[in-house]
């Protein structure tokens, strides 16, 4: 007798093969039977008329603090996400930690109203902290280049010297030994933007040696820095010269100079793959993006040395005007000030949900000066109308494009319910099924499941997750396609998705009829076989 049986479901294996009506037996954490025999279990779920798929794997998240603040963090679980990869865009802000990094981390915790002693410095201790909390889903970590560079060099805008480069290599190796499964860069953000391609190639070689994924928020997604297409080519060149698997993060074309040219990014990835390079991408299915105030509104030269030095520079009226001139260019890439909506601002939550035009009226000044005044008081984040529908749809068609949120695991109540974050944290996978599969029929259901399950598992080299197969961990979703519904909006983002009949994490029922049940069954994943 099995611990749990799923009967008569339409089983989608996750690998794009044809689905079949089958029974599934689960023993402990793993799948122990798949077939047509009559089977019995201590508990059974009638799946007649339902799709049975692997749990969704979100390769691009920023949930590094979510499971410290509140281990339930239900926004992903109730939409069928059973695995997250944290630490993207070069931001593994929980490790490694120096004295300065700890101060910045405490600021992040303060936004949630959490006064917690940070008695960890490395990945092992931090991941153990999450393990002790018991997360609601499976989580794995990456070491972020921006956090690593800041740990070794601070926020200095210069090349790493040989000793510093060797120290960064050593830290990546230590992180791998402690269980990280990826190395990420945020080359658009300071201090990652201060690095050369040669620096990243040398660090990527350490990632390749350990068989971990390299994920990159590339150096530009528009007409700043190197420019979109050279930045895209740089990511591919890193694959060519280091041998590492490259995951180009949240593939997009931003700004009027690049709207309508998203297909060229796909052509670049396809040429790289035809060359034999292991390059793929991920995408969230929205036309609006989100990022910190400093990341989207300030030129990189102005951020050297960290926030305090930036604020000091802004006291010089000439420098302030120079920054604002560049801020104007950023705003224009986001369909103007109306397309810049303040999402998170703990200093004044009344401003959250307002666009820059509305904020500038309140402050009786220009949108650019409003940005300066916001940042002088606190870091925060914007939601930005950065993309066009035709580009998002074109990129969504590509078979080697994982579906990934670029969001956090959040919760509709408690400290994780603060602000007006991007709805992608509550609805990415749901939206992709509801609009891109069922509604606009851009992608077939089988391919969508592949790109949310076995393909991201393959990118991460997970050996026992991402498919419905014997001896694989039983991370499973049961649902009807036409019942899947996204409820989160830009105005009211803290709303759970609907439609999941059942979500199973490591063999344990975690969601019934769209509602989380008592108990948490996720794990911290530190090896490719976990």
Distance of CA 56 to the CA centre of its chain: 13
Query: Tokens in use for 437?
Result: 């599969």
- Give the per-residue pLDDT at 100: 66
- Cα–Cα distances in angstroms (integers) from residue 454 to residues 23, 58, 88, 121, 138, in the given order: 20, 11, 20, 33, 15
Q: Strand (E) positions, 327-432?
A: 340-344, 381-384, 401-403
| Interval 24-81: pLDDT, tens | 999 999 999 999 999 999 999 999 999 999 999 999 999 999 999 999 999 999 999 9
Per-residue burial over 22-39, b = 16 or more CB atoms within 10 Å of its CB, e = otherwise: bbbbbeebebbbbeeeeb
Whole-structure pTM value: 0.93
Confidence (pLDDT) at 306:
82
pLDDT at 112: 77
Q: What is the per-residue pLDDT for 347?
A: 87
What's 116's DSSP letter? Answer: -
Output the CA torsion 387→483→421→96 (10° steps): -100
Res 116: pLDDT: 72
506 CB-near residues (< 8 Å, 6+ apart): 29, 138, 473, 474, 475, 521, 522, 523
pLDDT at 357: 96
pLDDT means over runs of 10, the chain (530 residues): 96 92 98 95 96 98 94 96 97 78 74 74 91 96 95 92 97 97 95 96 98 97 90 98 98 94 97 98 95 89 88 94 93 92 90 94 96 93 94 96 97 92 96 96 96 98 98 98 96 95 98 95 97
Q: What is the pLDDT of residue 305?
A: 83
Residues ≥6 apart with Cβ < 8 Å to 170: none
Q: Is 382 helix (H, G, I), strand (E, B) or coil?
A: strand
């Amino acid at each position: 007798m099995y611990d749990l049986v799923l009967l008569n479901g339409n089983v989608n294996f996750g690998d794009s093969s044809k689905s079949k009506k089958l029974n599934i037996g689960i023993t402990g954490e793993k799948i122990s039977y798949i077939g047509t025999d009559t089977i019995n279990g201590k508990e059974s779920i009638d799946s007649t008329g339902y799709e049975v798929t692997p749990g969704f794997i979100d390769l691009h998240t920023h949930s590094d603090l979510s499971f410290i603040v509140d281990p339930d963090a239900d926004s992903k679980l109730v939409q069928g996400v059973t695995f997250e990869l944290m630490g993207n865009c070069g931001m593994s802000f929980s490790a490694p930690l120096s004295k300065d990094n700890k101060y910045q981390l405490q600021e992040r915790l303060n936004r949630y109203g959490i006064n917690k002693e940070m008695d960890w410095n490395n990945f092992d201790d931090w991941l153990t902290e999450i393990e002790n909390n018991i997360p609601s889903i499976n989580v794995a970590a990456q070491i972020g280049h921006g956090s690593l560079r800041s740990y070794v060099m601070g926020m200095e805008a210069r090349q790493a010297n040989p000793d510093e480069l060797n120290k960064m290599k050593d830290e990546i190796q230590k992180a791998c030994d402690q269980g990280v499964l990826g190395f990420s860069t945020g080359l658009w953000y300071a201090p990652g933007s201060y690095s050369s391609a040669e620096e990243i190639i040398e660090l990527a070689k350490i990632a390749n040696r350990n068989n971990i994924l390299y994920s990159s928020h590339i150096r530009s997604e528009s007409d700043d820095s190197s420019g979109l297409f050279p930045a895209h080519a740089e990511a591919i060149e890193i694959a060519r010269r280091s041998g590492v698997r490259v995951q180009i993060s949240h593939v997009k074309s931003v700004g009027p100079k690049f709207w309508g040219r998203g297909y060229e990014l796909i052509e670049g990835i396809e040429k790289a793959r035809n060359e034999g390079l292991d390059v793929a991408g991920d995408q969230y299915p929205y036309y609006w993006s989100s990022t910190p105030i400093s990341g989207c509104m300030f030129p990189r030269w102005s951020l050297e040395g960290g926030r305090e030095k930036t604020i000091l520079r802004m006291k010089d009226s000439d420098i302030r005007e120079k920054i604002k001139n560049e801020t104007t260019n950023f705003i224009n890439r986001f369909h103007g000030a109306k397309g810049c909506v303040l999402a998170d601002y703990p200093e004044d939550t009344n401003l959250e949900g307002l666009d820059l035009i509305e904020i500038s009226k309140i402050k009786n000044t220009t949108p650019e000066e409003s940005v300066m005044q916001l940042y002088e008081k606190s870091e925060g984040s914007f939601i930005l109308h950065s993309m066009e529908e035709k580009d998002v749809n074109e990129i969504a068609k590509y078979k080697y494009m994982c579906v990934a949120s670029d969001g956090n695991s959040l919760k509709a109540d408690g400290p994780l319910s603060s602000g007006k974050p991007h709805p992608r944290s509550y609805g990415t996978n749901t939206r992709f099924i509801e609009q891109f599969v069922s509604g606009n029929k851009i992608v077939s259901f089988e391919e969508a499941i592949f790109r949310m399950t076995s393909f991201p598992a393959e990118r991460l080299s997970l050996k026992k997750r991402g498919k419905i197969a014997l001896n694989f961990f039983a991370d499973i979703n049961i649902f009807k396609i036409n019942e899947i519904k996204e409820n989160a909006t830009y105005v009211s983002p803290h709303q759970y998705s609907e439609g999941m009949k059942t979500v199973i994490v490591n063999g344990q029922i975690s969601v019934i009829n769209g509602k989380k049940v008592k108990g948490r069954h996720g794990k911290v994943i530190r090896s490719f076989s976990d």
